[in-house]
Amino acid sequence: MTHPEVIIVGGGQAALSVAYFLRRTKRSFLILDAEETAGGAWCHAWESLQLFSPASWSSLAGWPMPPVGERYPTRSDVTDYLTRYEARYELPVQRPVWVSGTEKTATGFRVRSSGKAWSCKALVSATGTWRNPYTPTFPGQPDFAGLQLHSANYVDAASFAGKRVLVVGGGNSGAQILAEISQLADTVWVTQQPPQFLPDDVDGRVLFERATERWKAQQEGRVPDPGPGGLGDIVMIPSVKNARARGVLLSRRPMARFTAKGVVWPDGTASSFDAVIWCTGFSPVLGHLAGLDVVGTEGRVAVNGTHSAKVPGLWLVGYGDWTGMASATLIGVMRTARSTAQEIDAFLG
Ligand code: FAD
């Protein structure tokens, strides 16, 4: 299919969710995905990564994630689910295809990959953030002689056994990686602010309900009263609870600078480390949209809902709250995936 009505760039959970709703519109569409296999960023997450919601709260539209017993789903549960989801709905995906650029044409868009091109009338960008890890800069950082690794590339704790490891970042990635590595290595945890732990009986379900309450309040123009906690707060999954019991979940504020051997703290004392793991998040992957001149200085695109405010026919899905509350989660992307498919159907007339 080189001239589908709609092209979706990216083949992760957000793309599949839009595709599920597009199927209902009978529009022709094609997903172009850079990965070798299905699953999007989940293909690259570390071995022990666990979701912060149970399977029933980690589902895309149409087909709930199969139950996995009492435990939270793992990375492989998610990649298996997304693979089977794609097959179940016979979603048209071409992979591996790296979309290198997109241009506006008189009739819609031209989408390019090495040696190939497609045209379409409507374009959806669902490229996520995983391929754009964010690492803050500190004085002296280039001089640090130890290993520096972003959580995007962390696999497991084995290679850190017996080492001194600095874990930087106060979200779920930081907490889960610290919990794992601290069983084999000496660890120090650095967070900008004191970490926000959710109560043991609160997990992604409650977070999603609170995020939904915020969204409803926004829609109704009233001040939200969702209670404490947001999607960035740390869910006490079993491994993180175990780390708490071991007294590991104590964090300190950031270092003043790096040296070849480690860091110097604001009080002038120094600590040596063999490795630093940056659990400092990600930014949207939008390089393929450069030709449309829509990416702002803050690395986002101005949107009305998910529709580009500047380029008619361009939608962005799954990038987090700026493209819809909780849209960077399996269950949260459904709302904006549905509205995007409906808007595209209306746009194509
Ligand atoms: P991705 O999964 O990143 O998929 C984007 C796809 O686009 C990828 O296949 C990529 O290769 C492709 N792509 C990018 N650029 C191009 C290009 N130029 N051309 C072609 N293809 C391209 N979410 C939950 O719902 N529940 C959780 O419990 C949860 N826990 C998490 C824990 C951690 C530690 C982290 C880091 C994330 C967690 N998430 C969770 C969030 C979730 O993993 C991501 O938000 C999700 O993967 C985003 O899906 P996506 O489809 O938007 O992007």
Give the pocket of ligand 1 (CB within 6 Å).
9-15, 32-35, 40-42, 49, 51-53, 58, 97-99, 126-128, 130-131, 172-173, 204, 285, 288, 318, 328-330
pLDDT confidence of residue 226? 56
| C-alpha 88 to ligand 1 mean position (Å) | 20
In 10 A of CB 44, how many CB atoms?
17
Please answer whether residues 347 and 313 qualify as being in contact, where contact means their C-beta atoms are separated by less than 8 angstroms: yes
pLDDT confidence of residue 9? 98
Query: For residue 227, is pLDDT > 80?
Result: no
Cis peptide before 96 (omega within 30 of 0): yes
Residue 252's Cβ-side half-sphere holds a number of Cα atoms within 13 Å equal to 12
pLDDT confidence of residue 52? 82
pLDDT confidence of residue 230? 61
pLDDT confidence of residue 349? 93
**61-80: average pLDDT:** 93
pLDDT confidence of residue 163? 98
pLDDT confidence of residue 229? 60
Could you tell me how many residues make up the chain? 349
| pLDDT per residue as tens digits for the range 165-217 | 999 999 999 999 999 999 999 999 999 999 999 989 887 777 777 777 777 78
**45-66: average pLDDT:** 91
pLDDT confidence of residue 219? 78
| pLDDT per residue as tens digits for the range 288-326 | 999 999 999 899 999 999 999 999 999 999 999 899 988
Q: Which one is predicted more confidently, 276 or 228? A: 276
CA 244, CA 242: separation in Å to the nearest integer? 5
Secondary structure element (H or E) that encloses residue 30, with its range: strand 29-32
Pocket probe for ligand 1: among 127, 132, 234, the residue whose CB has the most ligand atoms within 8 Å is 127
Residue whose Cα lies nearest atom 18 of ligand 1: it is 99
DSSP classification of residue 65: P
pTM: 0.93
Atom number in ligand 1 closest to CA 287 = 18
pLDDT confidence of residue 98? 98
Q: Which one is predicted more confidently, 146 or 231? A: 146
In 10 A of CB 256, how many CB atoms?
15
Pocket probe for ligand 1: among 8, 30, 33, the residue whose CB has the most ligand atoms within 8 Å is 33
13-23 helix and 333-348 helix, angle to the nearest 10 degrees? 50
Considering the chain, what percentage of its residues have pLDDT values greater than 90? 82
Pocket probe for ligand 1: among 37, 151, 285, 322, the residue whose CB has the most ligand atoms within 8 Å is 285
CA 274, CA 186: separation in Å to the nearest integer? 10
Lowest mean pLDDT across 9-23, 51-65, 271-285, 293-307? 51-65
Residue 228's Cβ-side half-sphere holds a number of Cα atoms within 13 Å equal to 8
CA 125, CA 14: separation in Å to the nearest integer? 9
Q: Which one is predicted more confidently, 269 or 230? A: 269
